[in-house]
């Protein structure tokens, strides 16, 4: 199983703790640590993905909680893959980090949470992708930098332990998903050019 970039410390600590507790004869605590190890491996999984058609790809796994003509918001629960991907080919113009609140990510008020705002220049215009934290851990990892060229479906970062991703839709694209739909990063087409 492929694991997310930078996940080794998050996985190795509970594995080491499991072994240490088992060696000390604390089987009950060792079992709890083992469960934590399994969760960390599950959470940091990073499967390969392939687009299901032409158009703008979902930047995140999860549930669509907002779908309008100009923006799509995807909520990621702890059970979702948390690696984020580029919706379209583009140039990273800038990345802006903003401090904020720590509301549960499924609430509308979470728009004011701690976040990264990534501005991508694409062939169809500029778009903004926001990686927004939730209430737990609140760690945003960004794999790209200003000046980078990204490919549609390329891994661009991850958010740990419950979060959301918002992405603007370039002019000339129509929605292909609706509120309540389940989507997969780098795979589900969420908007496509007008024909």
Here the tokens at position 144 are 């790209």
DSSP summary character for residue 122? E
Nearest-CA neighbor of 65 among 137, 136, 141, 167?
167
In this prediction, residue 137 carries a pLDDT of 67
Which candidate in 151, 163, 171, 195 is catalytic?
163
pLDDT tens for each residue of 18-76:
778 778 778 777 788 788 778 878 778 899 999 999 999 999 999 999 999 999 999 99
Q: What 3-state DSSP class applies to 12?
A: helix
Q: Is 168 a catalytic residue?
A: no
User: What are the structural domain ranges in the chain?
Assistant: 8-43, 56-193
Three-state secondary structure string covering 132-157: EECCCCCCEEECCCCCCEECCCCEEE
56-193 is classed in which CATH architecture? Distorted Sandwich (2.70)
pTM of the model: 0.89
> Among the residues of the chain, which ranges form H helices?
8-23, 27-43
Give the pLDDT band of residue 104 (cuts 50, 70, 90).
confident
Rounded to an integer, what distance in angstroms lies between the CA atom of residue 109 and that of residue 34? 35
């Amino acid at each position: 199983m492929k694991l997310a970039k930078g996940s080794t410390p998050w996985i190795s600590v509970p594995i080491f703790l499991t072994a240490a507790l088992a060696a000390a004869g604390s089987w009950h605590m060792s079992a709890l640590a083992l469960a934590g190890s399994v969760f960390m491996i599950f959470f940091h999984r990073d499967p390969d993905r392939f687009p299901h058609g032409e158009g703008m790809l979902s930047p995140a796994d999860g549930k669509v909680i907002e779908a309008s003509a100009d923006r799509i918001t995807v909520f990621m629960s702890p059970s979702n893959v948390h690696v984020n991907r580029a919706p379209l080919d583009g140039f990273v113009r800038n990345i802006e980090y903003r401090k904020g609140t720590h509301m549960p990510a499924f609430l509308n008020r979470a728009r004011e949470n701690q976040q990264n705002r990534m501005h991508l220049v694409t062939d169809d215009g500029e778009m903004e992708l926001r990686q927004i934290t939730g209430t737990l851990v609140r760690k945003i990892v960004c794999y790209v930098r200003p000046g980078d060229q990204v490919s549609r479906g390329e891994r661009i970062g991850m958010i740990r332990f419950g979060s959301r991703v918002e992405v603007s839709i370039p002019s000339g694209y129509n929605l292909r998903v609706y509120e309540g739909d389940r989507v997969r990063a780098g795979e589900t087409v969420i908007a496509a050019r007008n024909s």
